[in-house]
Structure 1
């Protein structure tokens, strides 16, 4: 057997690590009207195929009108990761985060802001393994 054929057989028969999966969760827009008050998105829940898996990485995005800003967090239960004012991004999930518990975006208008704002098209992308 030549080297190429042997390598192909080795690759085909060697166990490979499980490939990660992912799901996207589009969320309803939120209207933030009172500065300093927390507003929470609906829960982002996984598809049944992800049951028993661990969250590896989470991505987020949302839209705001030009010139507006909000403070944002991504939460699972009481554990929240600050997103600052970035309207999109991703991070490695904290080790305690589990697929079995829903994720929520949390927003707050900065202190002193008097005009309501709508957070449009919020979406989470969750990678699991």
Structure 2
């Protein structure tokens, strides 16, 4: 029996980022149902977040073993390909400049494409 490829979507609450040297982490982003991703591996991950206008933040998308630097507020990455599809993900953010005011980031979302792990 072959399981079809699919995707799951997760969102995290807004996050206040106030410091340059201390990144803030979002809540964990998980599949809505554990069974949905069981026996599956990640493929492409699509992300988005909404910084306030004029606010510069450094951003990463992380799993428990590593983080991937994000070039902007929306995009996609293949860096998580092959990880178990139920691996928790989270965002990390820090301000780019000490003179910046604290920024609230909204709309934190990932779409994780996944497929059945094929074993030869």
- The TM-score with structure 2 as length reference comes to 0.84
Query: Rg: which structure is higher?
Result: 1
Q: Is the 8 A contact 1:40 1:106 kept in 2?
A: yes
Corresponding residue of 1:124: 110
Residue 52 of structure 2 corresponds to residue 65 of structure 1:
yes
TM superposition shift of 1:113 = 3.4
Q: Which runs of 5+ in 2 are unaligned?
A: 116-120
Higher strand share: 2
Rounded Cα–Cα distance in structure 1 between residues aligned with 2:107 and 2:81:
28
Say how many residue pairs are matched: 113
TM superposition shift of 1:52 = 1.4
Q: Tell me, what secondary structure is at the counterpart of 1:120?
A: strand
Higher helix share: 1
TM superposition shift of 1:92 = 1.1
TM superposition shift of 1:102 = 0.3
- The TM-score with structure 1 as length reference comes to 0.79
TM superposition shift of 1:18 = 5.2
Q: Which runs of 5+ in 1 are unaligned?
A: 1-16
